[in-house]
């Protein structure tokens, strides 16, 4: 059985940044990833990464913007840490060779982003994630770190005494299952956007790590807070970066009216994402949209700026909507984009299961609270990838390998064999996924209310029964996507139920969670995190609550949030 000191699951920005800390610490670190590292969703990030690097800016102002953006439920110690570290990690990425866009004087260029009181989003045209990811990948290759590419983790395994023991992994290329032992496992598996039908996320964003961590006893925090991005393309949901509004783009309704002034009189299109998404949804619901969309108008920016700053957006709009933004507005709508919730960790990325760590979108540290600011997620991945990687590396230096249960591999092998041997009737995984994801969009979207959420909550038991009757069309060993989607579907069901239970419990409106029946924020009762636990006996989700971590800064006291 192969073993490593630290096994990192995920080769997006957080996983790769964490791995480099393992290399620095001189431990035996390995990375497992179900897609080639450069196909991780981080590569799709367009708009940029926030840091107070301008002498006229201050990390404390960035921290305040983040606390406010979180609707006063982000953990203040983690927010302070992230914002103070931000200029340092931008400098590091720059030194490593990230080709950031520059001003004429050679400084890293920065653009305005939603909810920020300073133009502090560093970027590389509209390909920021791609250039950051390639920079880290070069370093990782150079370090000689062992990467298990196109290997899908099927199970997180604990020892009999409840310590992380390792993983059961499925090699997508060969169809073989194998085990990896580790003194610690760091989950950097990204978000769960595919719980919903309309999403900007890669099809691989199925929240596997979160589901595995919960099944292993770790709580997931704040799962009801799901970010809708205001500008997903109407048909495909593929993202048009907030940078398009940062560069001066307008939102207009089907009547040609630039409507955001009615919702956010100071910041207009650059209010925070929850505010803009609700404004758009209201326009659509009140009949001022067109075929379920409103429009992003870039025409006044002019050809040169669009080609220079937003080249990828232009191509996506032309290819996927048949619209050249130089000549016509792009049809867009609110689309599921980001998971604020995730594996509950302390500010060093440790989860409350011995030997388990988490970073990036899979984790809830929590720096985003009820609403993430654009440009703060790339920052979160690199800052907490680095911090968690360093912390986990230190941990493994004094930790030992724990017993790997002898039957762990056999159980998973039997599960796969049984799935493949089912007769060709019953439920197809794709159909069940579609039903759940469509229902999530319909009843747990931008606007929520008790009847819809309760109806949705009542459906999960039936979907779990349906899941037991799924069958695979593809029985082959090599690149069996049917099998992978079936395994992932179980994770999506778990996470969907967490989101719905949290949304039903939280009887207030905060950040991305808006309850029509409780339209106000209720700090007295609800300024707290929800924690979702897996209840093995009941085969369902159980909720608990946890206080927000505060730092005693009087400026962070909750107040009305206006933009
Ligand atoms: C279209 C788009 C644009 C965005 N733009 C921005 C932006 O401009 N600025 C910003 O701040 N944020 C942006 N975000 C958010 C940000 O990009 C993500 O939150 C962040 O990149 C997530 O990084 P990560 O390292 O946590 O995970 P990811 O990059 O999602 O990587 C997850 C990794 O986990 C691996 N993995 C998952 N499950 C398994 C498994 N079971 N077995 C093995 N491996 C597994 C995958 O192979 C992958 O390597 C954007 C998001 C999207 C979807």
- What pLDDT digit, counting tens, does each position of 177-217 carry? 999 999 999 999 999 999 999 999 999 999 999 999 999 99
Ligand 1 atom closest to the Cα of residue 239 is 1
Q: Does 273 participate in catalysis according to the annotation?
A: yes
Give the model's pLDDT for residue 1: 86
Q: Probe ligand 1: pick from 9, 31, 129, max atoms within 8 Å of CB?
A: 129
| pLDDT tens track for 21-36 | 999 999 999 999 999 9
Q: What is the Cβ-side half-sphere exposure of residue 457, based on CA atoms within 13 angstroms?
A: 19
376-398 vs 76-96: helix axis angle to the nearest 10?
90
Residue 481 has pLDDT above 90, yes or no: yes
Whose alpha carbon is nearest atom 20 of ligand 1? 42
Which tokens belong to 42? 């981080």
Compute how many other C-beta atoms are within 10 angstroms of the C-beta atom of residue 65: 23
Q: Residue 218 Cα, ligand 1 centroid: separation in angstroms?
A: 21
| Position 320 confidence tier, pLDDT thresholds 50, 70, 90 | very high
Confidence of residue 17 (pLDDT cuts 50, 70, 90): very high
* CB burial of residue 429 (10 Å; 0-12, 13-18, 19+): buried
Catalytic residue among 111, 194, 273, 515: 273
Mean pLDDT, range 82-96, rounded to an integer: 98
Q: Ligand 1, residues 13, 20, 35, 40: which to mutate, most atoms within 8 A of Cβ?
A: 40
pLDDT, position 131 = 98
- Residue of minimum CA distance from atom 27 in ligand 1: 190
- What SS3 class is residue 534? strand
Look at the alpha carbons of 72, 75, 80, 82 in this order and tell me if their dihedral is positive or negative. Answer: negative
User: Residue 253: how many CA atoms within 13 Å on its side-chain side?
Assistant: 19
CA 39–ligand 1 middle distance (angstroms): 9
**pTM for the whole thing?**
0.97
DSSP string, 102-168: B-TTSSBPEE--TT-SS--EE-STT-HHHHHHHHHHHHHHHHT-EEEETEEEEEEEE-TTS-EEEEE
pLDDT number for residue 555: 96
Q: Which fold has domain 408-524?
A: Methane Monooxygenase Hydroxylase; Chain G, domain 1 (1.20.58)
Alpha-carbon distance 374 to 242, whole Å?
Answer: 7
Res 297: pLDDT: 98
Name the H helices within 355-427. 376-398, 408-421
How far away, in angstroms, is 129 Cα from ligand 1 center?
Answer: 9
SS3 string, 11-70, reads CCHHHHHHHHHHHHHCCCEEEEECCCHHHCHHHHCCCCEECCCCCCCCHHHHHHHHHHHC
Cα–Cα distance, 68 to 562 (Å, whole number): 9
Neighbouring-strand partners of residue 199: 336
Residue 426: per-residue pLDDT: 86
| Ligand 1 pocket mutation, candidates 42, 100, 383, 485, criterion most atoms within 8 A of CB | 42
* 107 Cα–ligand 1 center, Å: 27
CATH class of 230-336: alpha beta
The CB-side HSE value for 442 (13 A sphere, CA atoms) comes to: 12
- Quick one: average pLDDT of 422-431? 91
Distance CA 348, CA 16 (A): 16
The three-state secondary structure class of 525 is helix
Separation CA 98–CA 96 (nearest Å): 6
The average confidence (pLDDT) of the chain is: 97
Structural contact between residues 245 and 231, judged by C-beta atoms closer than 8 angstroms: yes
51-71 pLDDT, tens digit each:
999 999 999 999 999 999 999
Q: Cβ atoms within 10 A of the Cβ of 219, count?
A: 24
- In this prediction, residue 425 carries a pLDDT of 85
Q: Residue 424's pLDDT is what?
A: 84
CA distance 102 to 123: 9
Grade residue 348 by pLDDT with cuts at 50, 70 and 90.
Answer: very high
Domain extents for the chain? 230-336, 408-524
Cβ < 6 A, ligand 1 pocket: 9-15, 32-35, 40-42, 44-49, 128-129, 152-153, 188-191, 200-201, 204-205, 208-209, 239, 241, 338, 360-362, 374-378, 381
**Tokens, residue 384:** 């907490």
Q: Are 83 and 59 in contact, with CB atoms under 8 Å apart?
A: yes
């Amino acid at each position: 059985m192969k073993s490593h000191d630290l096994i990192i699951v995920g080769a997006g920005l957080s996983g790769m940044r964490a791995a480099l800390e393992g290399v620095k610490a001189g431990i035996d670190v390995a990375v497992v990833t179900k897609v080639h590292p450069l196909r991780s969703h981080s590569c799709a990030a367009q708009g940029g990464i926030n840091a107070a690097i301008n002498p006229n800016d201050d990390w404390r102002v960035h921290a305040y913007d983040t606390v406010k953006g979180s609707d006063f439920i982000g953990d203040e110690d983690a927010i302070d840490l992230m914002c103070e570290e931000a200029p340092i990690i931008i400098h590091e990425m720059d030194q490593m060779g990230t080709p950031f866009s520059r001003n004429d004087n050679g400084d890293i260029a920065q653009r305005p982003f939603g909810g920020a009181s300073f133009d502090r989003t560093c970027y590389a045209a509209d390909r920021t994630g791609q250039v950051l990811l390639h920079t880290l990948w070069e370093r990782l290759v150079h370090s000689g770190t062992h990467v298990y590419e196109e290997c899908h983790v099927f199970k997180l395994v604990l020892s009999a005494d409840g310590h992380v023991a390792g993983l059961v992994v499925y090699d997508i290329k060969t169809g073989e299952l194998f085990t990896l032992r580790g003194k610690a496992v760091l989950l950097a598996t990204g978000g769960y956007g595919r719980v919903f039908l309309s999403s900007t996320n890669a099809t691989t964003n199925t929240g596997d790590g979160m589901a595995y961590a919960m099944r292993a006893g770790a709580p997931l925090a704040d799962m009801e807070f799901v970010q809708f991005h205001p500008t997903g393309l109407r048909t495909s949901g593929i993202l048009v970066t907030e940078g398009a509004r940062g560069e001066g783009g307008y939102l207009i309704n089907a009547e040609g009216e630039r409507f955001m002034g009615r919702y956010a009189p100071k910041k207009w299109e650059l209010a925070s994402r929850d505010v803009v998404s609700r404004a758009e949804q209201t326009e659509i619901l009140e009949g001022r949209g067109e075929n379920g969309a409103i429009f992003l108008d870039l025409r006044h920016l002019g050809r040169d700026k669009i080609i220079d700053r937003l080249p990828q957006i232009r191509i996506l709009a032309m290819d996927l909507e048949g619209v050249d933004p130089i000549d016509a507005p792009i049809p867009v709508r609110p689309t599921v984009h980001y998971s604020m919730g995730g594996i509950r960790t302390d500010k060093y990325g440790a989860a409350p299961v011995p030997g388990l760590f988490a970073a990036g979108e899979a984790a809830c540290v929590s720096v985003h609270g009820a609403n993430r600011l654009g440009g703060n997620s790339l920052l979160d991945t690199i800052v907490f990838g680095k911090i968690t990687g360093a912390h986990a590396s230190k941990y493994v230096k004094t930790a030992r390998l724990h017993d790997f249960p002898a039957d762990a591999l056999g159980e998973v092998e039997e599960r796969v064999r049984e799935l493949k041997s089912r007769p060709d009737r019953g439920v197809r995984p794709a159909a069940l996924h579609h039903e759940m994801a469509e229902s999530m969009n319909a009843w747990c979207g931008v606007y929520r209310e008790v009847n819809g959420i309760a109806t949705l909550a009542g459906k999960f038991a039936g979907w779990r029964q349906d899941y037991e009757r799924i069958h695979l069309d593809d029985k082959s060993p090599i690149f069996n996507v049917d099998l992978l989607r079936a395994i992932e579907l179980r994770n999506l069901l778990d996470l969907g139920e967490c989101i719905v239970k949290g949304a039903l419990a939280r009887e207030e409106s905060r950040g991305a969670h808006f309850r029509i029946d409780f339209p106000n924020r209720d700090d007295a009762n609800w300024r707290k995190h929800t924690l979702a636990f897996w209840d093995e006996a009941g085969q369902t989700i159980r909720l608990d609550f946890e206080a927000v971590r505060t730092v005693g800064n009087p400026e962070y006291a909750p107040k009305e949030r206006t933009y």
